Amino acid sequence: MKLKPLDDRVVIKQSESEEKTAGGIILPDTAKEKPQLGKVVAVGPGKLLKDGSRRQAAVKKGDEIIYAKYIGSEIEIDRENYVILQEENILGIVER
């Protein structure tokens, strides 16, 4: 299935949450914190401005990003978890 976001929305593939603490303790699923790191899978055409033009998105497919906690809509497609959020909720692009 292919998902195409609308306007200034971005589809993110969440990174896996940590299985262990720094000290080596294995965490159960209920204790794992939701990751704020993900990879951009799809980007909408951009925000529609008042003059009818579109502002191009600052992120592109393949970018690794950090996004705000507890933001966006979580969905599952083909047994994969994704988050759809607005571009304004992206805090930064990770450069490695």
> Which CATH number covers residue 80?
2.30.33.40
Rounded (10°) CA dihedral 29, 30, 36, 40 = 50
Asked whether residue 89 is assigned to any structural domain, the reply reads yes
Q: What is the pLDDT of residues 1-22, one digit of tens each?
A: 688 899 999 999 987 655 555 5
Tokens (6 digits) for 29 = 């699923």
Q: How much is the pLDDT for 79?
A: 86
Question: Residues 84, 72: contact at Cβ < 8 Å?
Answer: yes
Q: Of 26, 7, 4, nearest to 17 (Cα)?
A: 26
- Alpha helical stretches, state H, the chain: none
Q: Which residue range(s) make up the domain with 66? A: 9-16+30-93
Domain count, the chain: 1
pLDDT over 60 at 72, yes or no: yes
Q: How much is the pLDDT for 28?
A: 56
Asked whether residue 21 is assigned to any structural domain, the reply reads no
